[in-house]
Structure 1
């Protein structure tokens, strides 16, 4: 008969190493960086009227998912503390909760990237109908469906897992290979291809519009080139966000898929690829702060407190006021 104390007693002889302290420090720093950046993004959209647009609704939803991912990284800290690690592993739903919350936020990040790409594709291809199609109500409905989908996919390990008493709460042991390879990896590949196709179509449409604008400007003095350049800047911004997302996620996806397919993946590789993956959740804030002037102004306005200078009262004003008061009497 299983006893959690026996499992714990058998595994408490491990000692903390310098690598453990390094990875704990990395996870804590990542949590502070990711949560603070995404919190500022959410507050910036909420408090700045110019940022309350349909595309930024998806950005805010993505920031919420990234904020959760940053908070969840703290749940990775116990695996670097031997005495606590085995307590977490021996409690089934505590072990699974660490993976479930991570996959919910990851799934939402992937789906948000696709939604942003689709939104920009509609905006570029059908600019006249965009305001009719991308209403606030419809966007809220899409975001709710995205969260429902992410919850359904991310919570699957709760009822489809390999967890057993005294088992190490490792991603390769606790989670099913079918879930990791056939569901998560396949969805990641499919959504990345879909997003890349959207941005490829956007570039094709943008080049065609550029040629049309050049032809029109040769016939008339009116030019719409500044508006097109502004639209392309926004598309490039979201394309950069997707590029950073893809680079950060790819090493973790390869290591997880390889580990489940029988390729030996050292624990050190997993300890490195997971922080790189989670780092993407904080990079969106950096991209917006550097590339988007509206976000940059909102961030500066929130973080830089200006001291209001109170000018001293002019004595002549006091004299005039006192004289007017006496005359009124």
Structure 2
């Protein structure tokens, strides 16, 4: 984390600036992201937990994603501490494990979010393209095993900064200087590229199948089948939107990492892109949960019960 100005380099001494519209924007973004991600994803967990009809295989992955995004919301709130006061920033930056554990949670929530988004995409792909295979193997037990495995991988990936760091040498909490280049470029890049590739390929395949279904529908007259197709098209539109937003939120951050370890990048741009990546955790709640009709219905039911009490 850093709140300094200039360009990433190895020169000692930097002018610190906590004022200006950019840092005000960053703090506001962090606070809004934290509120939406924490409240929204906590609501998702509660609704799924208390609604038996939502205990589906897919919603198990969404529940896991909500937990990851909830933690990202907590992290965003913690991030504001680096921006609101210079003395507090200096204290946190000088504290080795305050610094390193921030990156542990940052890349832990990042990897967890990416892996859960990938599992959701693959789940929808198999459900639509290979329905008989899905019916046979998509069980709650198998889903729980995959989720447990993904969180084990997440923990293993996230704790690497505790080992792969140069804090004792550089004495700063600037990400591109304190963390190893291999971890940022290769490690983070592998997670990001592989996840986005899997998500994009899955939704592209779903779109191809949907196109074939649309052609089949045009050859037959069946109002019920047409209504189901319209519902599927809406769901597919959400899938495409998820893919686009993930690119918009995370690719700039990774691009800044590459630039930072090669040609250099502005601190201001890097900070903004880092916060933009966290914003994806708040948007996921809207896309995966609130835009789901069954979830909205369950939410209304739970609210009515609370009012009756």
Classify the TM-score, shorter chain: 0.7 to 0.9
Q: Is the 8 A contact 1:120 1:235 kept in 2?
A: no
| CA distance 1:187–1:264, shift in 2 (3 Å) | same
**Cα–Cα, structure 1 residues 172 and 53, in superposed 2: closer, same or farther, change >3 Å?**
same
Q: Are the aligned partners of 2:167 and 2:178 in contact in 1 as well (CA < 8 Å)?
A: yes
Q: 1:157 aligns with which of 158, 161, 166?
A: 161
Alignment map for 1:34-49 (pairs within 5 Å)? 34-49=37-52
Structure of higher CA gyration radius = 1
Partner of 1:240: 241
Point out where structure 2 has 5 or more consecutive residues left out of the alignment. 1-12
Gaps of 5+ in 1: 1-10, 310-329
* 2:24 equivalent to 1:32: no
Q: CA deviation at 1:166?
A: 6.5
Q: d(CA) in 2 for partners of 1:210 and 1:15?
A: 56
The 1:288–1:115 alpha-carbon spacing in structure 2 relative to 1, beyond 3 Å, is closer
Residues 213, 36 of structure 1: alpha-carbon distance in 2 compared, 3 angstrom cutoff: same
CA RMSD of aligned residues (A): 2.6
SS at match of 2:60: helix
Match of 2:19 in 1: 17
**Partner in structure 2 of residue 69 of structure 1:** 72
Tell me, in whole angstroms, the C-alpha distance in 2 between the residues paired with 1:16 and 1:251.
23
1:101 to 101, 105, 112: 105
TM-fit CA distance, 1:35? 0.5
Assess if the C-alpha contact under 8 Å between 1:252 and 1:277 holds in 2. yes
1:139 aligns with 2:143: yes
Q: Aligned pair 1:266/2:270, yes or no?
A: no
Distance verdict in 2 for CA 1:142–1:232, change over 3 Å: farther
Instruction: For residue 101 of structure 1, report the CA deviation from its aligned partner.
Output: 0.5
Name 1:254's counterpart in structure 2. Answer: 255
Would you say the 8 A contact 2:104–2:161 is kept in 1?
yes
| Cα distance change, pair 300–271 in 1 and its aligned pair in 2 (3 A) | farther
Aligned pairs for 1:166-315 within 5 A:
167-215=171-219, 217=220, 224-261=225-262, 263-288=263-288, 291-303=291-303, 307-308=307-308
Question: In structure 1, which of residues 76, 79, 83 is the aligned counterpart of residue 87 of structure 2?
Answer: 83
Q: CA 1:223–1:298 in 2, change beyond 3 Å: closer, same or farther?
A: closer
Which is bigger in relative contact order (C-alpha 8 A, separation at least 6)? 2
Number of equivalences: 294
